[in-house]
Amino acid sequence: MRRLITALGMCLGMFTALPLPKLPWREDARPWMPLFLPATGLLLGVFWSIPAWLFPYLHLPLTVQGIVLCALPFLLTGFLHLDGFLDVSDAIGSWRNRETRLKILKDSHVGAMAVASCGLLLLAQFAFLSAGGVDGRFLLLLPAISRCGSAMAVTTLPPLPTSQYQQKQSPRCIPWVALVFAVLLTAAGFLFSLPCGIGLAGALLGYGLSLWQAVSALGGVSGDVAGYALTLSELSGIICYTLANCLIPS
């Protein structure tokens, strides 16, 4: 039990920018960290959803609401997953052979494809979050859904040679736990509202497609690849939710 608590603390410390107490690092707890990715996402979702619940009472312009909701997921994670999105975008967008793509992936410089991709990502996320009326329950569950995808990806797919997931074999139960959690969260979304459920299902689909694209291009999974798929997963969920909310009569 102590090892699991340590793994949770390590997961929160590594994948969030929240000012939480730091637990000592234990290598024997490291393989269990993916188990707590969905719980980490749920905690981040609490902070992401609070403004969405407050906005109806504050009567702020929709553009201000959009900026706040667009920026929060990146601020709460210290731009960690956005960094992976930039690296993978540069690598895939180079249209080179796999060996060259892997070199670009590890290059610390930012290329033109990363800048263009980041601009489009932020514009799209801001535009759809500025539509107004975002359900706080959807934003509560969205980060947990995307991290269910990450937990399944990093524990089932072959890691890249330079990936941290190359070092330790995670317990076999983790992807199954993440899958069950994803199904339960999606079902809860449909119970909340049809747009909420469609948005969460869209996030899972977006994660799968983004992951397939990245793994096909690079040959495996890494923290950068997981961050790339997670970022596009949340954007896909936001787009699906907003479109469903606009098109489906309440």
Q: Give the CA-trace dihedral at 235, 238, 243, 249, to 10 degrees.
A: 170
What pLDDT is stored for residue 249 in this prediction? Answer: 65
pLDDT in tens, 194-234: 999 999 999 999 999 999 999 999 999 999 999 999 999 99
Cα-trace Rg, the chain:
18
**What's the confidence (pLDDT) of residue 166?**
57
pTM of the model: 0.94
Where does the pLDDT of residue 189 fall: very low under 50, low under 70, confident under 90, or very high at 90 and above? very high
* Confidence category of residue 43, pLDDT binned at 50, 70, 90: very high
For 96, 106, 199, 238, the CA distances from 103, given in Å and listed in that order, are 10, 5, 35, 32
Whole-number pLDDT of residue 31: 87
Q: Show me where the domains of the chain are located.
A: 33-247
Predicted local distance difference test score (pLDDT) of residue 167? 56
Q: What percent of the chain has pLDDT over 90?
A: 70
Please provide the average confidence, as pLDDT, over all residues in the chain: 91
Tell me: the pLDDT tens digits for 133-174?
Answer: 899 999 999 999 999 999 999 999 998 887 666 556 778 899
Closest CA to 72 of 113, 16, 7, 124: 16
Question: 159 — phi, psi (to 5°)?
Answer: -80, 155
Amino acid found at 29: A
- Whether 250 has a pLDDT exceeding 60, the answer reads no
Confidence of residue 121 (pLDDT cuts 50, 70, 90): very high
| pLDDT tens track for 13-31 | 899 998 887 777 788 888 8
Q: Which helix (H) or strand (E) holds 240?
A: helix 223-247
Asked whether residue 102 carries a pLDDT value surpassing 70, the answer given is yes
The three-state secondary structure class of 45 is: helix
Which pLDDT score, from 0 to 100, does residue 126 have? 97
